[in-house]
Structure 1
Amino acid sequence: MKKNWHLVVTGTLAMGLLAGCGSTQQTSGEKNSASPAAKTAQVNLKATVLTDDLETFKSAYAEFSKENPTIQVQFETIPQAQYYEKLRLQLSSGEDIDLVGGNMDVFLDTGILEPLDDYIKKENIDVSGYGPLYDSLKVNDKVYGLPYRKSNWMLFYNKTLFDQANVAYPKADMTWNEFRELAKKMTKGEGANKVYGAFLHPWAQTWYMQGVQTGASIIDKDLTPFKKGLQFRMDMEKDGSIMGWAEQITTSAHYNSAFQKGNVAMNLIGDWHVAQLRQAETEKKISFDWDVVPVPHPEGVAANTSLATPVSLMVNKNSKHKEEAFKVLQFMTGAKGAKQFSAKGFLTGYVNDEIRKIYVGDGSMKPKNIHFFVEQKEYPEYPLLPGVKNILVNNVYKQEGEMALTNAETVDQAIQKIGQRVEKEWADKYAKDFKAGKK
């Protein structure tokens, strides 16, 4: 439990000091000099944030404290595997935590989050820097958190393999059908030495992405837009241009190790892969050249349309110092905090020209085309509502997609069952109480 220490100057002590000095009255200057002293009481806050973000939060706080010396923040974390489960328990038991970092949807059903709309209005915060993410964060027309970073998807490619095959690099404006043809062209060989044209991780996101890019939601009643994506993945497996789902599972194939091995021409994955590849280069684990281009898009959808998963900072509604906690949140999720996070290589929730320049850097580090990350049109990967991630993404879409990928169901059957399970396992529990914001 934290302790708040307050400096108290009593009126009796103040009067005694004046009498001892022989003063008969206070000047206006003396009154003013007493006023700041009354406001110097230190406020102690506690924030629990994701492990990967802890050090950057501490660095950003060093800047924050220069402007707000009376607000002390103790940053703590929990191991990733236990993070959300343990943090939910801590919050429900009333532990003294003022600020929470992570995926907002995990906490919405707890009722522990403070609505931020009044604070945002009072401080006249310019939310345009968050782009369309701001409205997508709303639940029941209220904002419960602001994103300090986000994860967007991109297409990574092995330039060395393309050079060796004398094939042009992937285009920045490429449809999914063009991607499929390029993957077939880049596939060669057999067995352990086979070069795959592409790698699609076993996650359901790699196929339902195509529907989300059109503006569809995985909780829609009409899931027709997602049929194409699932069928597309199955077709690419038949082409032999990607590793089959069953082989990925039996061999524990992973997007990072698969791409670093050097026999995958294109890798569809999120922005976090940049840091993984840079680290591999530093450790001399890879020697090939690589870059990025926007993910392929459906016909009729603009190029560089991607998925974004925001990671937010939130205020505990039971905090005793909500005003001060919001000051921290405002700094960390706004332009000042974004400068700190983008300098560390994080894709930030708030973006302006200066932050774009910081993120892109001076061109001395790969990928050369990192600018595509800060030029994307973004759709949230899934509606930020309770249960969507845990129930639908991690279970329903994953399980039924796998049934189709192992030929236990047809694509039509899988999509039909997904629809039924969305209604039964998610909508019946949450849809009445929670409504997502606009995309």
Structure 2
Amino acid sequence: MVGVTNYSKEVAETTEKGYVKVGKMNGRKASTSLLICGMIGLTLAGCSSKKDEVVPSAVPTVAPTSSTVATPEAKKEPVTLKWYSTSGNANLPATKALLEDYKKYSGNTVELETVAGDGDVIYKKIDIDLSTSGSVDIIPLQNPIIHAKYANSGFLLPLNDLYKESGVDYEKKFGKYLTKFNDKVYMLPTGAGTWAVFYNKKIFDDAKVPYPKGEWTWDQYVETAKKLTDPSKGIYGSNFPDYDNTFYLLAAQRGISGYKADGTSNYDDPAFKESLQWLGDLGNKLKIQPSWLETKSKKIPYDVFMNGKYAMQFTGTWFAFAPIDLKTYPRDWKVGITQPPVDPNGKNMIGITSGNGINKFSKHPKEAADFVNWVADNQYKYGGSGTPARVDLTKEDTDKIFNEMAAKFPTTDGITTDDLKDVFLTPNLGLKPEKITGSIAAEYGKIILQEGESYLVGQKPLDDTIKAIKTRADEAIDKAKTVKN
């Protein structure tokens, strides 16, 4: 991948310091990259406040649009563009192939501004550069927090007018995967990451419970988990990751913003209270999965599903690397994968999109826009399998992508191309941001984790918890305004 890091567990997890976690990736970077994040530059975009809201579009079924931006005048005189990249991604063969192909197409050269290291270290360098305008043209936007941060800080170039002049219909090409801030587009997506349910077929078979398939609700998920939970065998029917966004999952699927229209915290919306109580009940009352206290005290790892004692695992589709890796996770049971359950009040999955933006001070904005569009159009052709953010691809295109992905799973699992298309593309579901970003993105997640945990472990009443989250979030929002002014 170019200019990005592998994005798996860190998709939805904010550390206590407010940064996206990357420390648990070492043992699985290669597998994750090849499967889910294998497309060059798979980065993240995402959520925002109601004020800075992701605007999903309907998903059209049309023939592929042209991947060509109208030839910039500067192509008569080839230019050299610069694109940030981590050192690991810079040396990938697929990266080199992509850049060579773009030069053949455009005549322009793209050089990588390589940053040593991995994880969010690249953004420390970008922050410094952008504070003094910087000379790098293209900025990878690898998660919703980064995307919102740079868009709201005025570091990114609005792309609407450039693409209007060039005849690029980004609404048609990217549909529900296109992210806007105040109706402005700052990024064209290269890939998408959503959520799914992985399940242990042996536990289902032993309990004589049918495998889940297609669209289903959280009520159905809970009832299924009850049938599969067997304390005598140490089997849980369900497991959730310990991410801040699981605290407000139902609200996220309903598209409830973390901010009110006036910019203050919206955490007193009843949907957030309902979401936190529901999450707590899964472990504390229904006991279909480990309680939050058990998860933390026993330090249950993110990949515990692979020990064979959990019937279902709700997590990001990036987790598909684990069932494929039989060396790290040997097993004598079969894995299945299906769509995430939906909230009855909104048939939406949660997830992210990722891509590239342009430095507001780029000396070659038209050429940079041409490159960003070309990568967004062609990303899925390079470096392995993943979920393309284009909604206008032909059946032949998508079949090829998911045929390759299905071939990576053990044949005994019986996972087909259609199974993966159903899960990764979810044409029957809308897309809502999985995280709250806005003006205090990292701080918001930190507050939710700290205060929400006090409720989940029984230290604070639910109403007091919600009030504390809103109060602290409002204080952080006011502080952010003061700093900005």
Bin the TM-score by the shorter chain: 0.7 to 0.9
Provide the residue aligned with 2:279 in structure 1.
233
Cα shift readout 1:315-354 (whole Å, capped 9, x = no counterpart)? 11122222221111011112x223336xx22222223233
The CA deviation at 1:224 is 0.8
2:81 aligned with 1:45, yes or no? yes
Provide the residue aligned with 2:398 in structure 1.
356
Q: Distance in 2 between matches of 1:76 and 1:248?
A: 38
402-411 or 353-362, which moves further after superposition?
A: 353-362
The CA deviation at 1:41 is 4.4
Q: Contact between 2:138 and 2:368, CA under 8 Å: does it hold in 1?
A: yes
Residue number among 269, 275, 279 corresponding to 2:321 in the alignment: 275
Name the count of aligned residue pairs: 384
2:334 aligned with 1:289, yes or no? yes
Provide the residue aligned with 1:74 in structure 2.
112
Pair 397,319 (structure 1): closer, same or farther in 2 beyond 3 Å: same
Provide the residue aligned with 2:220 in structure 1.
178
Provide the residue aligned with 1:84 in structure 2.
123
Amino acid at match of 2:448: Y
Q: Distance in 1 between matches of 2:483 and 2:388?
A: 32
Residue number among 367, 386, 392 corresponding to 2:444 in the alignment: 392
Q: Contact between 1:219 and 1:422, CA under 8 Å: does it hold in 2?
A: no
The CA deviation at 1:306 is 0.7
Q: Contact between 1:133 and 1:380, CA under 8 Å: does it hold in 2?
A: no
Pair 340,430 (structure 1): closer, same or farther in 2 beyond 3 Å: farther
Cα shift readout 1:161-180 (whole Å, capped 9, x = no counterpart)? 21122211124232212211
Please give the residue correspondences for 1:17-416 in structure 2 after superposition, counting only pairs within 5 Å: 41-49=77-85, 55=92, 56-74=94-112, 76-77=114-115, 78-102=117-141, 103=143, 104-127=147-170, 128-134=172-178, 137-189=179-231, 194-220=234-260, 221=266, 222-238=268-284, 239-256=286-303, 258-278=304-324, 280-281=325-326, 285-302=330-347, 305-334=348-377, 336-340=378-382, 344-354=384-394, 355-361=397-403, 363-366=406-409, 367-368=415-416, 369-371=419-421, 372-375=423-426, 376-382=429-435, 385-388=438-441, 390-393=442-445, 395-416=446-467
Pair 353,40 (structure 1): closer, same or farther in 2 beyond 3 Å: closer
Please give the residue correspondences for 1:410-425 in structure 2 after superposition, counting only pairs within 5 Å: 410-425=461-476
The CA deviation at 1:360 is 2.2
Q: Distance in 2 between matches of 1:145 and 1:294?
A: 27
Amino acid at match of 1:96: S
Q: Distance in 2 between matches of 1:50 and 1:262?
A: 36
Q: Contact between 1:46 and 1:75, CA under 8 Å: does it hold in 2?
A: yes
Amino acid at match of 1:184: K
More helix by percentage: 1
Amino acid at match of 1:68: S
Pair 72,312 (structure 1): closer, same or farther in 2 beyond 3 Å: closer
Local SS of the residue matching 1:240: coil
Q: Distance in 1 between matches of 2:95 and 2:255?
A: 33
Provide the residue aligned with 1:23 in structure 2.
none
The CA deviation at 1:215 is 2.0
User: Which has the bigger relative contact order, CA under 8 A and spacing at least 6?
Assistant: 2
TM-score normalised to structure 1 length: 0.79
The CA deviation at 1:121 is 0.5
Provide the residue aligned with 2:18 in structure 1.
none
Local SS of the residue matching 1:45: strand
Amino acid at match of 1:262: G
Q: Distance in 2 between matches of 1:198 and 1:91?
A: 44
Pair 399,384 (structure 1): closer, same or farther in 2 beyond 3 Å: closer
346-355 or 398-407, which moves further after superposition?
A: 346-355
Q: Distance in 2 between matches of 1:145 and 1:52?
A: 23
The CA deviation at 1:432 is 13
Q: Distance in 2 between matches of 1:88 and 1:51?
A: 18
Q: Distance in 2 between matches of 1:83 and 1:251?
A: 33
Local SS of the residue matching 1:200: coil
Instruction: Give the unaligned 5+ runs of structure 1.
Output: 1-37, 434-439
Instruction: Give the unaligned 5+ runs of structure 2.
Output: 1-73, 261-265, 410-414
Q: Contact between 1:65 and 1:72, CA under 8 Å: does it hold in 2?
A: yes
Q: Contact between 1:339 and 1:358, CA under 8 Å: does it hold in 2?
A: no
361-370 or 97-106, which moves further after superposition?
A: 361-370
Amino acid at match of 1:87: I
Please give the residue correspondences for 1:1-16 in structure 2 after superposition, counting only pairs within 5 Å: none
Q: Distance in 2 between matches of 1:207 and 1:392?
A: 12
Q: Distance in 1 between matches of 2:87 and 2:243?
A: 23
TM-score normalised to structure 2 length: 0.72
Local SS of the residue matching 1:107: helix
Provide the residue aligned with 2:63 in structure 1.
none
The CA deviation at 1:197 is 0.8
Pair 91,358 (structure 1): closer, same or farther in 2 beyond 3 Å: farther
Local SS of the residue matching 2:438: coil
Pair 97,383 (structure 1): closer, same or farther in 2 beyond 3 Å: same
Local SS of the residue matching 1:318: coil
Structure having the higher Rg: 1
